[in-house]
Chains A and B, each alone.
Chain A
Amino acid sequence: MPVEYIPRTRELYSSFTPYRWVQNESAPFTPLLKPIAECRIALISSGGIMYRDQPRFHREDASYRRIPKDARADELSVWHFGYPTRDAERDVNCVFPLARMRELEAAGVIGALIDPAFSFMGGIYSARKVRDELAPQIVDELKRAHADAFFLVPA
């Protein structure tokens, strides 16, 4: 059975004000008008990935990092408030599958992987901050990059 994370969050953070989950009534949807082999796809991870000497994330940090698509594994590091990062530090592709997306681009499965990829630290208490501050900046980035779709990997 899949784990129920909403009750576990209430339990884990029981000493804090109960988190109010975003509950949406409907799902927005834009049909994809061409095959993914012709699409420009962006990779976004909320796993807290940083490139080289980009500043480390901190608690309640709603900033994001631009990660060059040709970044090597040893140029990436991970900081996150809310999940054990040990495996991601060993192999960042657990939560930020940059190498896998490059392979799919090379194999022609996707049309192009957008440069750069993006990452933020998803352990942000304020849904308002994410919706009104962080998300619009990434949307602007995706529009400028002429993205057809983005692949969001949480952590």
Chain B
Amino acid sequence: MTSAIDITQAVRPPRAVFLNFPLGHQTGPPDQAELQRKIVTDAMRAFETITTPGTIVELPYVWDASDRSWEDRDYTKGWMPERPSRDAADAQEAERQARFRRA
């Protein structure tokens, strides 16, 4: 699966399926099981249909037909949310560990 076609063209994996969605959604948007299922099913089908090494199949799904401005913002400065401080991140991790050890 890929959403970065130039990187995939450079790396040349055996087979690839390209979906033009923002990074972090390579198998679909959140809470849209039906679209995710279509994307993953298409990817599985590509195992059977691709016979030429390095082929990249492009999927037809569109992230937002009325607004393509995400393409200008994705992976540019300011696009990553600010990271928590080290202390805050350590506290979050301790909380996560404790939650699963209790459960």
Q: Residues on A close to B: CB < 8 A?
A: 1-6, 8-9, 11-12, 21-32, 35-36, 39, 41, 47, 52-53, 56, 75, 77, 82-88, 90-91, 93-97, 99-101, 103-104, 109-110, 149, 151-155
A85 to B30, alpha carbons, bound, how many Å? Answer: 11
4 smallest CB-CB distances across A and B, nearest first, come from: A27-B54, A29-B53, A91-B30, A53-B100
Chain B residues in 8 Å Cβ range of A96: 27
A155 touches B40 (CB 8 A): no
Complex contacts, A90 vs chain B, CB 8 Å: 30-31
B81 interfacial by beta-carbon distance below 8 Å: yes
Given contacts A41-B44, A86-B81, contact A53 B101 (CB under 8 A): yes
Q: Which positions in B face A, CB cutoff 8 Å?
A: 1-7, 10-15, 18, 20, 23-31, 33, 36-37, 39-41, 43-45, 47-48, 51, 53-54, 71, 74-77, 79-81, 93, 96-97, 100-101, 103
Contact, CB under 8 Å: A21 / B10:
yes
Contact, CB under 8 Å: A151 / B43: yes
In the complex the two chains form, is B93's CB within 8 Å of A95's CB? no
B47 pairs with A94, CB closer than 8 A:
no
Q: Is the CB of B4 within 8 A of A3?
A: yes
The reply to whether B26 and A149 contact each other, CB–CB distance below 8 Å, is: no
Q: Give Cα A104–Cα B41 distance, bound, in whole angstroms.
A: 7
Query: Are B93 and A56 closer than 8 Å at their CB atoms?
Result: yes
A1 CB contact (under 8 Å) in B15, B71, B75: B71
Question: Are A36 and B75 closer than 8 Å at their CB atoms?
Answer: no
Selected contact of A93 from candidates B28, B51, B54, B93, CB within 8 Å: B28
Q: Given A77-B96, A155-B24, check contact A22 B75 (CB 8 Å).
A: no
CA distance A59 to B30 in the complex (A): 25
A26 to B: closest C-beta gap in Å: 7
**CA distance in complex: A36, B18 (Å):** 19
